[in-house]
Structure 1
Amino acid sequence: MITGYAIAVSACAAGVAIWAFVLVVLNRAPEKPLLMGIGGVEALLAIQVVVSVVMMVGGGRPGSMITFLAYLFGALLVLPLGTVWALAERTRSSTAVLGIACLTVPVLLLRMVEVWGGASA
């Protein structure tokens, strides 16, 4: 796993989360620019999936394959699920849901880096 890329994606997700929480303070519902930011982070996560699969095919192995794959696909799914939830009810609270979903991404990526390095606890 490429740690630098995971850190970059985490920083982007944290930036979008901050943006979402600023909108919460301003009492704004999710709008197209925020959703586009989330889409950008999702695209970066899709690249992470491709890179991880290529590295595994090339012989790299995480400490625990099942745990790594669970975090990998969990990270890929958290933003679409949060977006569906947020779009079902366009309120200030749904913007907070998007912020929390974005904050989940760096946590999942950190665990992926740890599991790739052999820490399976």
Structure 2
Amino acid sequence: MIPGFSAVVALGSLLVAVWSFVLAARGREPTRPLLAGLAVVEVLLVVQLGVGVALLVAGHHPGSLATYLAYLIGSLVVLPVGTVWALAERSRSSTVVLGITCLAIPVMVLRLYQIWSGAHA
């Protein structure tokens, strides 16, 4: 994994999470700009998938391949599932759901980095 890019993905997701919580505190439902922010984070996650696969093809190996692939693919699914859930009923609560969904991404990125470096924490 590329530590700098992983940090960009995690920070981008945290920024969108803060944005979601601010909107929720104001009693607003998800807005188009917020959904655009989620799309940017998802694009970053797709790039992360490409980088991860490229590193595997180049011969680099994580501590646990199966766990690494599960986190790599799973991180792509979290935002779309959370967005569908949130948009099923647009309300203040759905904005909170998006914020919580965004908080899951930095955790998954950290685990990817730990697995890649062979840490078992």
TM-score (norm 2): 0.98
Q: Work out the CA distance in 1 between the residues paired with 2:29 and 2:77.
A: 22
User: Where does residue 24 of structure 2 map in the other structure?
Assistant: 24
Shift, 1:120, TM fit: 3.3
Shift, 1:109, TM fit: 0.1
Q: Work out the CA distance in 2 between the residues paired with 1:92 and 1:109.
A: 27
Shift, 1:74, TM fit: 1.1
Q: Work out the CA distance in 1 between the residues paired with 2:26 and 2:63.
A: 44
What do residues 61-103 of structure 1 show as CA deviations (whole Å, max 9, x unaligned)? 0000011111111111100000000010000000000000001
Shift, 1:45, TM fit: 0.3
User: Where does residue 81 of structure 2 map in the other structure?
Assistant: 81
Q: Work out the CA distance in 2 between the residues paired with 1:96 and 1:75.
A: 19
Which residues of structure 1 form unaligned runs of 5+? none
Q: Work out the CA distance in 1 between the residues paired with 2:72 and 2:43.
A: 13
User: Where does residue 35 of structure 2 map in the other structure?
Assistant: 35
Q: Report 1:1-121 matches (<5 A).
A: 1-121=1-121
Shift, 1:6, TM fit: 0.3
**CA-based RMSD:** 0.7
Q: Is the 8 Å Cα contact of residues 16 and 34 (structure 1) preserved in structure 2?
A: yes
Q: Is the 8 Å Cα contact of residues 3 and 113 (structure 1) preserved in structure 2?
A: yes
Report the secondary structure of 2:78's partner residue: helix
Shift, 1:119, TM fit: 1.5
Fraction of identical pairs, as percent: 54
Count residues in correspondence.
Answer: 121
TM-score (norm 1): 0.98
